[in-house]
Amino acid sequence: MARHLITSAIPYINGIKHLGNLVGSQLPADLFARYQRARGNEVMFICATDEHGTPAELAATKAGQPVADYCAEMHLVQAQIAEGFGLSFDHFGRSSSEANKMLTQHFAVKLYENGLIEERSETQMYSPTDGRFLPDRYIEGTCPNCGFESARGDQCDNCTKQLDPVDLIKPHSTISGATDLEMRETKHLYLLQSKMKDQLEDWIDTREGWPILTTSIAKKWLTDGDGLQDRGITRDLSWGVPAQFDGAPWNGMDGKVFYVWFDAPIEYIACAQEWVDADKGNDWERWWRTDKGAEDVTYTQFMGKDNVPFHTLSFPATILGSNEPWKLVDYIKSFNYLNYDGGQFSTSRGRGVFMDQALDILPADYWRWWLLSHAPESSDAEFTWENFQVSVNKDLADVLGNFVSRITKFCRSKFGEEVPKGGATAAESAKSTDSHGHWLVFSIAKLLAEYEDQMQHMEVRKAAHTLRTIWATGNEYLQQFAPWSVYKEDPAAAAEIIRFSLNLARLFAVLSKPFIPSTSEKILRDLNCPDAGWPRENNSEEKLRANAVIEALSALPAGHSFTVPDVLFAKITDEQREEWQQRFAGVRD
């Protein structure tokens, strides 16, 4: 049994996330976690809310709440929405946890002891109007790299270049809009990333099979300009992990907190501690400490491309620089952007369909299927209502839903609500090369092998395409061998086709569960086999692959009772599409 540690980029606490956020990290991570569990592997799938930094403070101010209260409320909201989308986290934590505070301070001390943190005096932007220093997202201006006019003080959303507030052209305060900003001296802690450039480059070169998107972004940051830069890891803020604490090997950091991008990834580790503390698991160190068993763990991260630099460079610099036996990521699955109807999704600017709105109009599986089958893996993708309607109607309603409905209703009309007996077994039928059983077994076996390989390698869109092809094979089987026609001449032969088809419906539900878990569970309940498991281990040898399919086609024996399911997927009408297109024109209320 393999062991998989899976994390998705932790979402900011500042409001409900949009569909682009969902498909860029959490949803494909859930797909992979569900698949690995289905194959019998041990999984720890963790995520959290990112609660520190200026996004939290600004959102709380806008909401008129104390920041701690705002974060507690929004954590609950995000957790409930994640549950609504079927995200199967083993634990959904908070970066404001005591565990993360202790770990962040621990790493800072270790890095300081290893000569990788130093105190520096610097000048930073100060707003006399606001009466405070303005770090990170309290400042916006024009990006000096690409000219984007709404770049933030830490990063440009348009070109993803890492920035400091002093880099911006025509900066202004996001609090008051003031432009009379001035430079004043302050003191901060710096992580000396430049000292680790060679070590990080060597480490990245040892990562096998990473997506080109991931490695190209990482290496660009290592080599562009002057290469990897030292990074300030404290900020003049009141909300966050205190930078001055008992046991700190420095002084003068009172009133400062650690930079959110220093403490946030550490929450991955803290989240595992919280999971264990809540009696939901066993020793967390066997997942995170290579001296405690984590050397046998495969660690996979999922994230959008804007998060790649921090996970390939900054967080590994923290882990490697500590000189402690922490688990490093084995594979980073990164995604491009999902755009919305000719523009960009944006949480901060309220553009696009947000997760709560999506669940208000349709069940989660509609969205899960479209987002995963259109995942922006090799390039940016775009959500349009026309494409969404076509995909839902053709893939979910016409292919999967139609197959399950046709075969259960036809069986009920001729044999009642139980699996009919008669004809050959799946094994017997598969032996004859000119039989429908042989065609079905070997068609599904070939596709199953492709599907499992694509899922294992996190080829999300390819896996969705193969799964749809598996569904379509069921409809092709019914059309080609037409049990309704065979029944008139040979009821026993028709019963054989129906029995195989009912077992196909069961198999489709099992294979589809990582993509559309609620619908799959409904099909299995109606087929009276809620605990159905994945086909036994597939094998590259064609005969053994076929044997696994034969077993799957024999799982529901003659006499097994079932219930005809209700409509699995209602088609989206033109009227609904037009209404939603107008309602979600790109600006959130």
Q: Is 89:152 a contact under the CB 8 Å cutoff?
A: no
CA-based nearest residue to 125, from 185, 177, 188, 175: 185
Residue 249 CB neighbours (<10 A): 9
Q: How far apart are CA 419 and CA 557, in angstroms?
A: 7
Q: In 10 A of CB 280, how many CB atoms? A: 11
Distance, in Å, from the CA atom of 415 to the CA atom of 57, rounded to the nearest integer, reads 64
CB 385 within 8 A of CB 341: yes
**Burial of 74 from C-beta contacts in 10 A (0-12 / 13-18 / 19+):** buried
Strands (E) in 231-386, as ranges, are 231-232, 234-235, 257-258, 297-304, 331-335, 338-340, 343-344, 381-383
Which residues are CB-neighbours of 312 under 8 A, at least 6 positions away? Answer: 200, 204, 214, 217, 218, 221, 332
Residue 7 marked in a binding site: no
Edge to edge, the sheet with strand 151-152 lists: 151-152, 139-142, 169-173
271 annotated as a binding-site residue: no
Rounded Cα distance, 567 and 406, in Å: 11
**Antiparallel, parallel or unpaired: β 338-340 and 42-49:** unpaired
Beta bridge mates, 145: none
Contacts of 375 (CB under 8 A, 6+ apart): 23, 28, 335, 381, 460, 461, 464
Tell me whether strands 132-133 and 139-142 are parallel, antiparallel or unpaired.
unpaired
290 Cβ contact partners less than 8 Å away, ≥ 6 residues apart:
325, 326, 327
**Does 411 carry a binding-site annotation?**
no
* CA pair distance 64, 76, nearest whole angstrom: 18
Q: CA 546, CA 558: separation in Å to the nearest integer?
A: 21
Packing angle of the helix pair 491-512, 402-415 (nearest 10 deg): 150
Identify any residues that bridge with 119 across adjacent strands, giving them in sequence order.
189
Nearest of 58, 577, 111, 138 to residue 361 by alpha carbon: 577
Give the number of other CB atoms < 10 A from CB of residue 69: 11
From residue 549, give the alpha-carbon distance in Å to each of 381, 538, 572. Answer: 35, 9, 34
156 is in an annotated binding site: yes
Instruction: Give me 296's structure tokens.
Output: 């046998």
Contact between 497 and 483 (Cβ < 8 Å): yes
Burial 113-126 (b: 16+ CB within 10 A, else e): eeebbeeeeeebbb
Binding site as annotated, residues for Zn(2+): 143, 146, 156, 159
Binding site as annotated, residues for ATP: 347
Binding site as annotated, residues: 143, 146, 156, 159, 347
